[in-house]
Structure 1
């Protein structure tokens, strides 16, 4: 089963990298689990497809999450594995873009110092012009036309406001037995690198601000229940411009979503 979301760089990771924004191996060698994580030199689209389509003995479920930008372009979409349910998680770009830009500040190179124009180029290189939403819509259309006539789409706001209803529907479509452990879980404090398999270049992301709330979570929580930043208003003209470019693609996907 594949769950696809609208963000991240790429097809720019590993040996198929097309972007200078790929994180250098720098700190990954000293991160926990660096020795067992996949090496990015083998992490090609073809290798992922072959690995996922192989037999997984004693596994009741194989779950993979990736971003639509990682499969941008039909030549990469053709590497989608067969035999999986392809599902989509969407989120309002008015929430995605400001949050994403903030997270990128954590990974922006400290040297050389970047002026405002260079900072915007950094954001664009990592987020793409349409923040991944155009790629997400194109991927959804590809899946519907080639793999699944009715791929499941869920909206993040629906998921956090009605988690039991949405996850029950998700489980019904994918054939996963529903359990309340899917919406409420015990947080044992173990680090994310012990729970998820990833490649070395991504190990650092498991400990960054992208996942702050996820690391401490014990269930789905509405946005209003979470700590709010000092300012939640979007005032950056470039961010406002990018949001406007994303909205039409999001709205098309929103019309395809499961309605609780």
Structure 2
């Protein structure tokens, strides 16, 4: 893929990072934020899916009152912003969630290197359920009792992530780079070096350490900031001081998870496994000899049972 160039003739690196919520993607964006001359976009397509004029999700009355509609955030407008010239920047970087593209393939911006950040779905879904039930005040979870499927797309984020990967691979002729969150935590320096080399960024030691900071100079919608104030979506990453290495990989005890979380993990696990087999590997990893690309939706539909969703009067899924 040819990289855009400055008017001065210098090349400019443009990167998309596709992920799911609760997969360390905001911490990863904090790392990218340490680079000089970097233009950063945070979840514009997610804003379109939840709060834009073409939104697929109908928020509850409280959220609608606080946020309203992000009229600018059409899919076409977002594409135009991402494809604009940023002549004084060496890097243009956007982090977003794959489900938010919602099949609008024409909205995917041109001139970008596409990458994916994935995470074990048992960890993602466990964290997701905890977050959507914590609320801004102590005890809110006792009132809300939200199912893990709350505000989810039909494929529970992982099917959409898989489908976007397949689409990009088939249309560009190049398999997007995949980074796994557990690999990143196992050896942050090695994985960030590998990632930067693969996408054309200059690795710096500062990418692993930073000062906690609440306000970032990113392109981010007002609705995202309000949602963060209510739910604390970004708080862990903003209050962090770097990506810390974990000496031992943790595992989630599936038997300890609520029934709704286990059912969703069971549904999305095959999609994650396909992506995991194609990830950028640590030097100590043993390569799987049988890793193949699979169109999961073409398999026996009875193999994976989608947990039913209940729709309340205000349009929320539970």
Partner Cα separation in structure 2 for residue 254 and residue 172 of structure 1? 20
Larger CA Rg, structure 1 vs 2: 2
Runs of 4+ aligned structure 1 residues displaced above 6 Å come to none
Counterpart among 196, 205, 216 of residue 239 in structure 2:
216
User: Structure 2 vs 1, CA of residues 235 and 125 (structure 1 numbering), >3 Å: closer, same or farther?
Assistant: closer
Partner Cα separation in structure 1 for residue 99 and residue 51 of structure 2? 11
Alignment length, in residue pairs?
A: 233
After TM superposition, give the deviation of residue 147 of structure 1 in Å: 2.8
Q: Is residue 82 of structure 1 aligned with residue 110 of structure 2?
A: yes
Counterpart among 254, 257, 273 of residue 251 in structure 1:
273
Structure 2 partner of 1:19: 57
Structure 2 partner of 1:4: 18
Counterpart among 55, 71, 86 of residue 56 in structure 1:
86
User: Structure 2 vs 1, CA of residues 66 and 166 (structure 1 numbering), >3 Å: closer, same or farther?
Assistant: same
Structure 1 partner of 2:95: 65
Contact map agreement 1:14 1:44 (CA 8 A) in 2: yes
**Larger relative CO (CA 8 A, sep 6+): 1 or 2?**
1
Counterpart among 205, 210, 223 of residue 180 in structure 1:
205
Structure 2 partner of 1:200: 222
Counterpart among 168, 171, 180 of residue 146 in structure 1:
171
After TM superposition, give the deviation of residue 61 of structure 1 in Å: 0.8
Structure 1 partner of 2:12: none
Contact map agreement 1:159 1:167 (CA 8 A) in 2: yes
Q: Larger deviation: 46-55 or 206-215?
A: 206-215
Root mean square deviation, CA, Å: 2.7
Counterpart among 194, 206, 211 of residue 169 in structure 1:
194
After TM superposition, give the deviation of residue 106 of structure 1 in Å: 3.9
User: Structure 2 vs 1, CA of residues 181 and 26 (structure 1 numbering), >3 Å: closer, same or farther?
Assistant: farther
Partner Cα separation in structure 1 for residue 63 and residue 278 of structure 2? 38
Q: TM-score, normalised by structure 1?
A: 0.80
Q: State the secondary structure of the residue aligned to 2:179.
A: strand
Q: TM-score, normalised by structure 2?
A: 0.66
Q: State the secondary structure of the residue aligned to 2:57.
A: coil
Higher relative helix content: 1
Gaps of 5+ in 1: 30-38, 226-230
